[in-house]
Amino acid sequence: MPSLNLSRYSVRVADTALALRAAQSLRYIAFARGNDPEGYDSDQFDGICRHYLVEETETGTLLCCFRLLPLSSGAEIARSYSAQFYDLSALTAYPGPMAEIGRFCIRPGFCDPDILRVAWAVMTRFVDENGIEMLFGCSSFPGTDATAYLDALALLKERHLGPCQWRPKIKAQQVFRFAQEPGQSPCDARQAMLRMPPLLRTYLMMGGWVSDHAVVDRQLDTLHVFTGVEINAIPQARKRLLRAAAR
């Protein structure tokens, strides 16, 4: 895939050890592990994924990174990062090509929404070039205190639970079963949506769905939900916008 240039930002594949190291360094900072320039976030999945870097064109500053793991079908779902935390046996029957989005992060202090738009343009091109039928991954809330996100989780319960056919089951030891929590719908759905992580919010705007429980990940100090987006379910108007940006 050639480099993609959009406005003030450019995107490239991390195809060298040095580029991958830059992504791992940003991940270390973004996941609140500290500002040590010698610190790196890495795991065993880095070697089987394709990594993308979103940089400021003028300065070359790395602002965002993420990785993609293509799977030929649900039969390969056990290879995914998400399979560590969720029982994904239902998805083994998924017939089409899939791709897992992982370790998505934006450098702290940079809030330009165009960074996320550029990242989605890259993902859109990847989906089209590889015939991907479902994107999935773990969408993370900062911290592990579920009570800080009760309004957002209530909105997920009310409107965005995944279909029973594909919905993950519990595997992790520490989970928050928000779909079983009693309570009323959020008083302010707009405010609840604003509490969602930006990546999850975008998933939901494209018709994405989530698991019925959140995993407490103390290693990364996050609370995450499994998230799936079936490409055929994305509204046509949004598909046109994404593909226009991906040209």
Task: Read off the pLDDT band of 7 (50, 70, 90).
Answer: confident
pLDDT tens across 83-117, in order? Answer: 999 999 999 999 999 999 999 999 988 888 889 88
Using a 10 angstrom Cβ sphere, with 0-12 exposed, 13-18 middle and 19 or more buried, the burial of residue 113 is exposed
CB atoms within 10 A of CB 208: 22
Task: For residues 19-29, give the mean pLDDT.
Answer: 94
pLDDT of residue 96: 96
CATH number at residue 24: 3.40.630.30
- The range of the structural domain enclosing residue 193 comes to 4-246
Inform me whether the pLDDT recorded for 187 exceeds 70.
Answer: no
pLDDT of residue 2: 46
Inform me whether the pLDDT recorded for 37 exceeds 90.
Answer: no
Total domains in the fold of the chain = 1
